[in-house]
């Protein structure tokens, strides 16, 4: 058997042979060009399957990324911060990730392009603002790896957060936000009306009422300046077209703005000055 001491294989220089394990290839202690020491299987060394401690591949990847101009992408930062959460104890989030034993799989850890290729075929949307499309683990105790991950938009996350308001209607159960999307209702307004309903309102008594836009139009009750009137009464009192009151109400304006007697776009442009 040939002594490999002193020979070079790729980035490796062989330092010495390691203790022989019966029935296995010989292993050699090698020093990489970058200085790292690694034990390498003789077979991998001779066949050129192992040519560096890993730094060659890293260089290749970073070259590849620079070539593709991906280092400036939002996804690149998603990748970096995912690795930080799991590997960098100096990061605030580390205690909830790396600190709990959550890892990034080797494939993603070492190769951005591998992560990139998975991401773009699994729901990642580079056109959304930074932070609007985030990587989520399906099993929150599991690792960052292709089988356990998915991309979620902030809307979907908000949906999850608001899942405490579950509404059953027509034998279907959805969150209030899902209902609003399904029925084309304004979420903010419907949420407000929902709270009115559960406090006990004579206009919004049932889910049917809550989802009924026609009842909404008829029954806008506004309290302002200690007066409680409906839309048509306010309309007469302040000489604002009733349609304007409905429109403003439906846009989610506050009472002050709903009952503003004047040209609203003028008011807005004055305020922003
Ligand atoms: Zn190296």
Q: Specify if 102 maps to a domain.
A: yes
pLDDT tens string 115-153? 988 998 888 887 777 777 888 887 778 899 999 898 887
Domain end call among 130, 158, 186: 158
Helix locations, the chain, DSSP H? 42-46, 55-68, 74-87, 106-110, 112-120, 154-161, 176-183, 187-200, 207-211, 213-218, 231-238, 242-250, 255-258, 264-271
Would the pLDDT of 84 be above 90?
A: yes
% of residues, the chain, pLDDT over 70? 84
Q: Say what the pLDDT of residue 109 is.
A: 92
Structural domains of the chain, count: 3
Query: Looking at the domain assignment, is residue 2 inside a domain?
Result: no
Q: Measure 36 CA to ligand 1 centroid, in angstroms.
A: 6
Do 81 and 136 lie in a common domain? yes
Distance CA 175, CA 13 (A): 62
Verify that 192 and 253 share a domain, yes or no.
Answer: yes
Q: What is the dihedral of CA 82, 85, 89, 93, to 10 degrees?
A: 150
> Which chain residues have CB less than 5 Å from ligand 1, an ion?
32, 34, 36, 52-53, 55
37's enclosing H/E stretch is: strand 37-41
Question: How far is the centre of ligand 1, averaged over its atoms, from the C-alpha of 75 (Å)?
Answer: 27
- Ligand 1 centroid–CA 40 distance in Å is 13
Domain endpoint, select from 123, 158, 193: 158
User: What is the reported pLDDT for 254?
Assistant: 81
Claim to verify: residue 97 and residue 192 sit in the same structural domain: no
Tell me which of 34, 60, 86 is where a domain ends: 60
Whether residues 220 and 146 share a domain: the answer is no
CB 205 within 8 A of CB 191: no
Residues 170 and 153 in one domain: no
Domain limits at 13?
Answer: 8-60
Query: Are residues 258 and 177 both part of a single domain?
Result: yes
- Residue 134 counted as domain residue: yes
- Mark whether 141 and 210 lie in a shared domain: no
Q: How far is the CA of 111 from the centre of ligand 1 (A)?
A: 16
- Mean pLDDT to the nearest integer, 59-63: 72
């Amino acid at each position: 058997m040939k002594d490999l001491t002193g020979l070079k294989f790729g980035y490796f220089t062989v330092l010495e042979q390691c203790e022989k394990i019966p029935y296995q290839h010989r292993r050699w202690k090698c020093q990489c060009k970058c200085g790292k020491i690694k034990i390498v299987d003789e077979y991998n060394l001779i066949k050129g399957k192992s040519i560096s401690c890993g730094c060659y591949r890293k260089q290749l990847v970073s070259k590849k990324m620079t070539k593709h101009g991906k280092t400036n992408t939002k996804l690149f930062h998603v990748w970096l911060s995912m690795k930080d959460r799991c590997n960098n104890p100096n990061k605030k989030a580390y205690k909830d990730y790396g600190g709990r034993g959550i890892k990034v799989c080797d494939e993603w850890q070492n190769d951005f392009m591998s992560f990139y290729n998975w991401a773009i075929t699994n729901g990642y949307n580079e056109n959304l603002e930074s932070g609007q499309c985030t990587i989520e683990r399906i099993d929150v105790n599991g690792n960052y790896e292709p089988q356990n991950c998915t991309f979620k938009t902030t809307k979907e996350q908000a949906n999850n957060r608001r899942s405490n308001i579950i509404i059953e209607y027509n034998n279907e159960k959805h969150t209030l936000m899902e209902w609003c999307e399904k029925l084309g209702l304004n979420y903010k307004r419907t949420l407000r009306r929902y709270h009115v309903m559960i406090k006990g309102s004579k206009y919004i008594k049932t889910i049917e009422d809550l989802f009924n836009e026609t009842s909404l139009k008829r029954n806008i009750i506004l309290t302002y300046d200690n007066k409680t009137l409906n839309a048509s009464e306010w309309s007469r009192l302040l000489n604002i077209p009733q349609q304007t009151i409905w429109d403003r109400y439906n846009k989610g304006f506050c009472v002050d703005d709903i009952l503003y007697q004047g040209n609203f776009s003028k008011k807005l442009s004055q305020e922003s000055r």
